[in-house]
Structure 1
Amino acid sequence: MEDDRYPKVEGGGSLILAWQIRNKRVLVVGGGEVAAGRILNVLNADGKVTVISPRSGLNPEVAYRIEKGQVEYHDRKFEPSDLDGVDMVLTAVDDPEASTQIWKLCKEKKIAANIADVPPECDFYFGSVHRDGPLQIMVSTNGKGPRMANIVRRWIADNLPENMGDAVIGIGKLRKQLRGIAPDISEGPKRMAWIIKVSDAYSLRDLCEMDDEDRAALLRFYAPDKVPRYQCLKDMQGEFDAFDGSFGFFVG
């Protein structure tokens, strides 16, 4: 019998992660349009890309990345020794038999692999991603409907404030400044709880409109463990020299 106190397990999904691949070696087999997208995804994550493909199979974007030295390139077909020292493998070739063979070799070597257009031979999927500076939002259909994922991703992007990326950077600044004024490790739980209060007190639009002056003023309320309503924070600008902790209109 299910216990309503706990979330129900819904199998069949993927574990959505932000995989940190900075400086890791990623092998891309293929040089067409799909490979171009994979290469850009990896370069955006600061991975080190090696492309294996006959030059005749390169599309203009992949050829450009090779010309600019953004990737390492070998003008030939895949060889098993290409897997030596590799952290991830992405294949995008129109040869199912060759792709399956690469996948099997990856399994033997315990290398995470994505075989384009063959979901059963993928350790992970590429979702449809919206990027705005540090903000990344991925929509995945677990390989069942990539175009649907793209539609959902566009709808989400269209309904976000235009400066969401800047807002995320601003929150990062606030957290860094907070650690600066309360650096002691014993302050950790209070810092975390206060940031949660800030996130709960303000709307997404408030957070997007907040500027450096607002964040500096907001930090004044950390010590008394309070969070002013956003308009109250704006109205108080210029009054903080006389701040004695007695202002009203607090949240939290």
Structure 2
Amino acid sequence: MPQNFPAVQGGGSLILAWQIKNKRVLVVGGGEVAAGRILNVLNADAKVTVVSPREGLNDEVAYRVAESQVDYVDRKFEPSDLDNVDMVLTAVDDPEASTQIWKLCKERNIAANIADVPPECDFYFGSVHRDGPLQIMVSTNGNGPKLASIVRKQIAGNLPENIGAAIQKVGMLRRKLRKVAPATEEGPKRMQWMSGVCESWSLDDLVAMEEKDMEELLGFYPLGEFPSLERIRLGDGFQEYAFDGSFGWF
């Protein structure tokens, strides 16, 4: 029987938040494209090694090297550079050399991105908007990087200015909630309660929320209520439950 399920579109990429903290990333090249790749993986707390002749470094990459933000090898790529590497990014003006690096990566099962050669990429770099913990990526699946940048700017222009700060406060509240209600069986209730807070509070109130407000608000978790910031600060309705500052209520 026909079902009202989403249609499969196909032709897309699986967009994921790839956690590469402390992973070893090799960047081959030192020009403008390499500079962007390097910043992307440094922002994700990766351990980065750059292989490129010094004369091929642009100002930004040279700065990263001088500041010891990356490890640096002053020469062209050699196959041994792939030893103990988790990811490879190439950005060199040599299609033949790039293809050779791609083939070596495939032999070693290393995820690789060959700049401007979509068929030789295990993953693509999208255009990313960053505001604190918030990251929004727009991908054209290798069809139009510049257009991805234009779309990303339009999206970013419509976001509230304080969305990043609001997300940081929500993260703090969520971590505190897990401490006072750590049981596994509390999971669905925690999620439902946090959703209620996010849906009922304005972004301005989330940004304005202080730690003492969070502790007061947590007192309403057993009731399944999420009163406004104004009510929290007035103390209205906080008689039945009170958070004692540790792992319970009295």
Q: Same fold (TM over 0.5)?
A: yes
- 1:13-24 correspondence runs (5 A): 13-24=12-23
SS of corresponding position for 1:51: strand
Displacement of 1:175 in angstroms is 0.7
> 1:8 aligns to what?
7
Structure 2: any 5+ residue segments left out of the alignment? 242-250
Distance of 2:190 and 2:25 partners within structure 1: 38
> 1:115 aligns to what?
114
- Paired residue type of 2:3: D
Displacement of 1:177 in angstroms is 1.4
- Paired residue type of 1:239: G
1:238 corresponds to 2:238: no
SS of corresponding position for 2:122: coil
Displacement of 1:75 in angstroms is 1.1
- Paired residue type of 1:223: P
- Paired residue type of 2:29: G
SS of corresponding position for 1:120: helix
Q: Is the 8 A contact 1:66 1:72 kept in 2?
A: yes
> 1:141 aligns to what?
140
Displacement of 1:240 in angstroms is 4.2
- 1:1-252 correspondence runs (5 A): 3-4=3-4, 6-204=5-203, 207-228=206-227, 230=228, 233-240=229-236, 243-244=239-240
Distance of 1:37 and 1:160 partners within structure 2: 24
Number of matched residues?
241
- Paired residue type of 1:138: M
Distance of 1:35 and 1:86 partners within structure 2: 17
Q: Is the 8 A contact 2:130 2:136 kept in 1?
A: yes
C-alpha RMSD over aligned residues: 1.9
Displacement of 1:193 in angstroms is 2.0
SS of corresponding position for 1:41: helix
Distance of 2:52 and 2:78 partners within structure 1: 11
Displacement of 1:119 in angstroms is 0.7
Displacement of 1:152 in angstroms is 1.3
- Paired residue type of 1:97: E
Q: Is the 8 A contact 1:55 1:76 kept in 2?
A: yes
- Paired residue type of 1:3: Q
Q: Is the 8 A contact 2:213 2:232 kept in 1?
A: no
Displacement of 1:158 in angstroms is 1.5
Displacement of 1:213 in angstroms is 4.7
User: Is 183-192 or 45-54 further displaced after alignment?
Assistant: 183-192
Distance of 1:13 and 1:210 partners within structure 2: 40
SS of corresponding position for 1:49: strand
Q: Is the 8 A contact 1:214 1:234 kept in 2?
A: no
Displacement of 1:242 in angstroms is 5.2
Q: Is the 8 A contact 2:166 2:204 kept in 1?
A: no
Q: TM (normalized to structure 2)? A: 0.89
SS of corresponding position for 2:105: helix
Q: Is the 8 A contact 2:217 2:232 kept in 1?
A: no
Distance of 1:129 and 1:201 partners within structure 2: 28
> 1:250 aligns to what?
none
SS of corresponding position for 2:6: coil
Distance of 1:242 and 1:83 partners within structure 2: 60
Q: TM (normalized to structure 1)? A: 0.88
Distance of 1:2 and 1:124 partners within structure 2: 35
String of CA shifts for 1:207-240, please: whole Å, max 9, x gaps: 4454445433332221111233x4xx41452224
Structure 1: any 5+ residue segments left out of the alignment? 246-252
